[in-house]
Chains A and B, each alone.
Chain A
Amino acid sequence: MEQIIQYISVNQQEFYVFILAVFVGIEVISKVPTVLHTPLMSGSNALSGVVIVGSILVLGKTSPENYLALGLGFLAVLLATLNVVGGFAVTNRMLEMFKKKPAKK
């Protein structure tokens, strides 16, 4: 318990960011129309692919002899990339359909 409290106090900056980000997230999408629920879910799904940064770091610091860690790290980078690229591409495909046709104006 002591150690957890200590951890929080050492990393309090992170915890402030954590709390503030919760409110930013809620604030930013609070007025979204139903029309955009699916694209928004897909878009935020793409953003959760930011875990790719961690995957790169973990594979980047693994020693070339540790095959198990290399394998797991490789998989992590691959899957996270899939999440990022696929997520953004799918979202873009959905949103392309909301393009306004100039002819309709």
Chain B
Amino acid sequence: MISQIIDICYLIAVVLFIVGIKLMSHPDSARKGNSIALIGMLVAIAATFLTPGLNNILLILVAMAIGTGGGLYYAKSVKMTAMPQLVSFFNGMGGAAAALIGLVEYGDLPVNEIGKGAVLMASLIIGSISFSGSLIAMGKLEGVIKDIRINKILAFVLLAIALVMAFYVLTSGEPQPILVYGIVLVSLVYGLAFVYPIGGADMPVVISLLNALTGVTAATTGLLYNNKVMLMGGILVGSAGLLLTLLMAKAMNRSVANILFTSFGGASAGASGADTGDQVAKEINLYDSSILLSYAKRVVVVPGYGLAVAQAQHAVHDLEKALEEKGVEVLYGIHPVAGRMPGHMNVLLAESDVSYEKLIEMDDINEKFPSTDVVMVIGANDVVNPAANDDPSSPIYGMPILEVNRATNVIVIKRGMASGYAGIENALFFDAKTRMLFGDAKKVLTGLVTEVKNM
């Protein structure tokens, strides 16, 4: 009887997961969706406690209490700018848990069960890759870890070694506990080698992929226990995560393979930098900018990571309100990969109560630029770099961009002339229409609000 109850609870949990994700894909119902998925998770966990013959319950509760405390603490205390890193971190924890389960389970696995063994090996390898990869992705976003070039072939050799070891363990007919730890070790190193050489600008795609991988390990763990809630939940994440990865890569007009297996920036950056080297960017001061803005019909704000770093999301909203009082239409042009994660800018702007109807996606805003008087680029660089359209030698050539140079005026708010995350020069800054407004985004925007109000 008890096991039927558990089964039914798992069934309910799976339905709640699906409904939750479904609701999460619309802004109005997203919060409800998250709560429903959470309820599903609680049902699944509660049902698991009903499992007959469960030992070490105290130990389980202690571990869960520590995990809950830590999770809540990190989730509440992190700044909005560091959100992507945190998601990557949590993702790595899930992968690690799956790999650990695999390690323990190997001890109980009869050597002749090759099918189950293969599933277990998949859990071990993918879980380890997801763990170390996520931590590297986190370090890269945090800026702690710089790009290092690692030979891609070397990385593949590592993966091949892990697979060969797994094959040997399965077919040797004897328990190989030491080799199993070896597989974990090699997989961990592969995870490092896999994420290290990928450019920071591509990190969103990588995190999404790692997220999908963690889902897959949850599913393989589910196979191991013939547990449908893990199987279903894991695969949901795996396939949704994979689709999300493809959507993001598409937004950058690059294939996933291209992102994963070729390094970003580097040599050609110098080449394209040379022909803009002797040009001078034209500066503008606060007062002139505020005049330009106040008398515009339509202003489009293009936010980038710089906005997040300067924590200027409230200041930009204040400017929006000040301009709207003067009858200026203010819109936001959101590039799919602006910031460090897709939707990063949306989340950030939503924090300061910018209504999401004003956040316009790339294709729609590009149509509006010719009838826009002023575009204000705040801390964005690569996503507005015209080299993506007209310089085949540029590493970002082919990436769709926000075509801000089709607007009448462009104001670029930047701290200095340094190049963007991809490390490439931006010809936009030298365009005849462009004026540079140097300074910290928050200070500049606050200054603009005052000037506009005094107008």
> Could you tell me which A residues sit within 8 Å of B by CB distance?
3-4, 6-8, 10-11, 14, 17-18, 21-26, 28-64, 66, 69-70, 72-101, 104
Contact = CB atoms under 8 A, between A and B. Distances in A.
Interface string B208-248: 10010011011101111111111111111111110110011
Nearest to A73: B104
B389 to A, nearest CB: 21
A97 B107 CA distance: 47
A23 B31 CA distance: 24
Contacts of B53: 60-61
A93 B341 contact: no
Given A41-B342, A49-B97, 20 more contacts: A14-B223, A29-B21, A30-B243, A34-B251, A38-B343, A41-B241, A44-B237, A50-B229, A50-B233, A53-B48, A53-B225, A57-B225, A60-B53, A64-B56, A72-B103, A72-B104, A78-B63, A93-B76, A95-B31, A97-B350
Looking at chain A's contact residues, the main secondary structure is: helix
A60 to B, nearest CB: 4
Contact of A86 (B55, B75, B226): B75
Contact of A48 (B76, B214, B228, B243): B214
Nearest to B208: A41
B93 interface: yes
B283 interface: no
21 contacts: A17-B232, A18-B235, A25-B240, A28-B18, A29-B21, A29-B244, A35-B343, A36-B346, A38-B87, A39-B24, A41-B241, A45-B211, A53-B227, A54-B227, A60-B55, A78-B66, A83-B93, A88-B37, A88-B41, A89-B72, A101-B353
Nearest to B17: A47
B27 A33 contact: yes
Contacts of B37: 43, 46-47, 88
B359 A99 contact: no
Contacts of A100: 28
B76 A17 contact: no
B71 A26 contact: no
B221 A54 contact: yes
Chain B binding site: helix, strand, loop or mixed by DSSP?
A: helix
Nearest to B362: A34
A23 to B, nearest CB: 7
Contact of B341 (A14, A31, A35, A37): A37
Contacts of A45: 87, 90-91, 94, 211, 214, 237
B384 interface: no
A17 B359 CA distance: 38
Contacts of B355: 104
A4 B341 contact: no
Interface stretch (B112-120, B187-195, B428-436, B439-447): B112-120
Given A50-B229, A55-B101, A81-B63, A36 B30 contact: yes
Interface of B: 17-18, 20-22, 24-28, 30-31, 33-35, 37-38, 41, 44-45, 48-49, 51, 53-57, 59-60, 62-64, 66-68, 70-72, 74-76, 78, 83-84, 86-87, 89-91, 93-94, 96-98, 100-101, 103-105, 107, 112-116, 118, 207-208, 211, 214-215, 217-219, 221-241, 243-244, 247-248, 251, 334, 336, 341-344, 346-347, 350-351, 353, 355-356, 359, 361
A3 B258 CA distance: 37
B24 A25 contact: no
A44 B207 CA distance: 12
A92 B33 CA distance: 10
Given A23-B239, A48-B233, A43 B21 contact: yes
B83 A48 contact: no
B114 A7 contact: yes
B54 A80 contact: no
User: Closest 5 A-B residue pairs measured CB to CB?
Assistant: A7-B115, A81-B67, A25-B239, A85-B71, A86-B71
A7 to B, nearest CB: 2
B223 A11 contact: yes
A77 to B, nearest CB: 4
A58 B227 CA distance: 12
A103 to B, nearest CB: 10
A44 B104 CA distance: 26
B343 A96 contact: no
A53 B341 CA distance: 29
